[in-house]
A and B are shown apart, each in its own frame.
Chain A
Amino acid sequence: MSVKYKFDNESNEVLERAFQRLNYNNSSLNITLSNKEFTIDGDFNENQVKEEVYKTVYNEKIYLETLDIRKKIFSDL
């Protein structure tokens, strides 16, 4: 099976980090990232993979957008 998910509105940094995290946590899948589009090949449940990509990309986006605040919070403790 092969699926593609495109994230035109997300930055390259978010997508690159999400790509690394997806690879890191899903070693059985063949994942590539090109032109803001993930291509995933392998034997998998499509809904599960779709959710995993959504979760990974947007949790990464949230992480980067709130990273400065995270640092401030910990330095304020």
Chain B
Amino acid sequence: MTYNYFPYNFRKIDHQYFLVSNISGNFFLCKKETLDKIIHKKIDNNLEKYLLQKGFLFKEQGDFNWNNNKFKLVKRKMLPEKIGYYMIVPTLRCNINCSYCQVSRVDQSTNGYDWDDNTLDHFFKFVSKYSDKNIKIEFQGGEPTLRVDIIKKVIQWADKNKYKAEFAICTNLLNINQEFEEIIARDDVHLSTSIDGSYEIQKNQRTKSDDLAKNFFKNFEYVSNKYGLDKISALPTFYDFDQVVPTIDFYESLGLKTIYLRPVNFQGFARKKHPISKNLTEEWGKIYNKALDYIFQKNYNKKNNFMMEFSFLTNLRRIFQPGSNGHVDLRNPNFASRDNFIVDYNGVLFPSDEARMISRIGLVDLSLGNIFDGLDSEKISNYNWNQISDVNSDCIHCSYQPYCGIDTVDDLSRYNRIDLPKIKTNFCQNNLRKFDDIFSRILSNKPENILNITGHLTGIFSTIPPFSDIIYD
């Protein structure tokens, strides 16, 4: 044979099919007899033609196939050069006390946990230095609407300086006053909130009172009726897994088109209050797959108002849409200080919200500088060396490596170390299960799976998929 193979791996998907994927994420499915021929380089003309077509072979460095492979690889790994996403914490104070608050919070009446004018001024200087004119600012907390004045000043500054900005406000929706509503009314402002389930669940897990729960749902209805459901998104956190299916139904009844199924996260205050969340991988995996079946069947029986599951969407895009590198929970490399920062209530910078949480509880200090003195380059460099899976011996032997991500913060949070074999970590097991599930669904050829895969990828729920010819045998 005159051709060379690009580096590839294989993995068994079901009782007869193997996934074969190469370094740039090209893939196909075949039976063991075919795989053996490929491994032992006993391929006939038809198979050689197929492997060429699938981007597994090249003749020499720099030829068309080499450059095609290189283009896809770069696309899968490329991160923006400028910081385009800021999550800022104008106050750490909050007016409710959720049992598994994943972010740090202090009581509403506590002093010393808010941005002041000096912090704002330095934040503006920092953005001017590290970003271009396209930015997204997410207001986190605590409860950011306790400082609507800061939200307003940030938006006014972006307007005045001609930023093409989008704003997301993560709020518990308990305070909608006139000042906040003027902000909500802007087209470039989006709201995000937490809905854990029905009224009773929301009361028990979040608001802790009837009045507040009623107020929450009244305000949710008010915003969605007045501004439309595109204005607001919601996500649940599951602690009681029996509530997953009822919550899917509840989201549907609210008219929400996307749900993000995720268990209580072993982060922040949840570490103490819900220690069971450390090892839920297997149990959650079974619940998640059943929930996905449930959503898929419902969508299959519908003509419109289809529902998407965010985490399925994220993993699917990583396979089929090279360049889907915007989700920090699933990308590789996952370098800090490249395209996003968390700016805490005191101006300290973190690479992610999870990093902020484990720093706050004193496990390890993952701050990477602050907006007053600048970035800590040495720490960023040390951090980033562990945020690339191409140098991890487990990952480079995995068929899902081109699609998967890396999250050493999660490893630190769960195991207090980053050198466990990846295969033994929650992050790895969770994503192995998700990718296995996706390829099993593709192989199943069931119309409800094809419709939902197509719908999640293209937004058009159809049984005519946007992919073809991915099975050799």
Interface of A with B (CB < 8 Å)? Answer: 21, 24-25, 51, 55, 58-63, 65-67, 69-70, 72-74, 76-77
The contact of B5 among A24, A69, A77, by CB within 8 Å, is A69
The interface-forming segment of B9-17, B108-116, B130-138, B463-471 is B9-17
Known contacts: A55-B11, A73-B70, A76-B61. The answer to whether A63 contacts B397 by CB under 8 A is yes
Are A74 and B390 interface neighbours, CB within 8 A? yes
Interface of B with A (CB < 8 Å)? Answer: 4-12, 23, 39, 61, 66, 69-70, 73-74, 77, 390, 393-394, 396-397, 421, 423
The contact of A63 among B4, B7, B11, by CB within 8 Å, is B7
The contact of B8 among A24, A62, A76, A77, by CB within 8 Å, is A62
The prevalent SS among residues of B at the interface is mixed
Nearest-CB residue, chain A, relative to B423: A25
Chain A residues whose C-beta falls within 8 Å of the C-beta of B10 in the assembled complex: 55, 58-59, 62
Q: Cα distance A69–B23 when bound, in Å?
A: 10
Chain B residues whose C-beta falls within 8 Å of the C-beta of A73 in the assembled complex: 6-7, 23, 69-70, 73
Are A51 and B421 interface neighbours, CB within 8 A? no
Chain B residues whose C-beta falls within 8 Å of the C-beta of A60 in the assembled complex: 397
Distance in angstroms from A17 CB to nearest chain B CB is 10
Q: Cα distance A27–B339 when bound, in Å?
A: 39
Q: Cα distance A63–B8 when bound, in Å?
A: 8
Q: Cα distance A65–B39 when bound, in Å?
A: 10
With most chain A CB atoms within 10 A of its CB, the pick from B4, B8, B394, B397 is B397
The contact of B9 among A21, A59, A69, by CB within 8 Å, is A59
Chain A residues whose C-beta falls within 8 Å of the C-beta of B11 in the assembled complex: 55
Chain A residues whose C-beta falls within 8 Å of the C-beta of B70 in the assembled complex: 73, 76-77
Are B39 and A77 interface neighbours, CB within 8 A? no
Distance in angstroms from B26 CB to nearest chain A CB is 13
Nearest-CB residue, chain B, relative to A61: B39
Distance in angstroms from A26 CB to nearest chain B CB is 10
Nearest-CB residue, chain A, relative to B35: A58
Contacts A74-B390, A77-B77 known; 16 new A-B pairs at CB < 8 A: A21-B393, A21-B397, A24-B421, A25-B394, A55-B12, A59-B9, A62-B5, A62-B7, A62-B8, A62-B10, A69-B5, A69-B6, A73-B23, A73-B69, A73-B70, A77-B70
Q: Cα distance A21–B423 when bound, in Å?
A: 11
Q: Cα distance A76–B12 when bound, in Å?
A: 31
Q: Cα distance A21–B392 when bound, in Å?
A: 13
Known contacts: A55-B11, A55-B12, A62-B9. The answer to whether A72 contacts B61 by CB under 8 A is yes
Q: Cα distance A54–B354 when bound, in Å?
A: 38
Nearest-CB residue, chain A, relative to B399: A59
Nearest-CB residue, chain A, relative to B62: A76
Chain B residues whose C-beta falls within 8 Å of the C-beta of A66 in the assembled complex: 5-8
Q: Cα distance A51–B70 when bound, in Å?
A: 32
Q: Cα distance A55–B396 when bound, in Å?
A: 14
With most chain A CB atoms within 10 A of its CB, the pick from B4, B7, B394 is B7
Chain A residues whose C-beta falls within 8 Å of the C-beta of B6 in the assembled complex: 66, 69, 73
16 contacts between A and B (CB under 8 A): A24-B421, A25-B421, A51-B12, A55-B10, A60-B397, A62-B8, A62-B39, A63-B7, A63-B9, A63-B397, A69-B5, A69-B7, A70-B7, A72-B61, A73-B7, A76-B70
Nearest-CB residue, chain B, relative to A56: B397
Q: Which 5 A-B pairs have the closest CB atoms?
A: A66-B7, A70-B7, A58-B39, A59-B397, A59-B9
Chain B residues whose C-beta falls within 8 Å of the C-beta of A76 in the assembled complex: 61, 66, 70
Q: Cα distance A63–B397 when bound, in Å?
A: 8
Nearest-CB residue, chain B, relative to A74: B390
Nearest-CB residue, chain A, relative to B9: A59
Nearest-CB residue, chain B, relative to A62: B8
Q: Cα distance A25–B9 when bound, in Å?
A: 17
Q: Cα distance A66–B397 when bound, in Å?
A: 12
Nearest-CB residue, chain A, relative to B397: A59
Q: Cα distance A66–B6 when bound, in Å?
A: 7
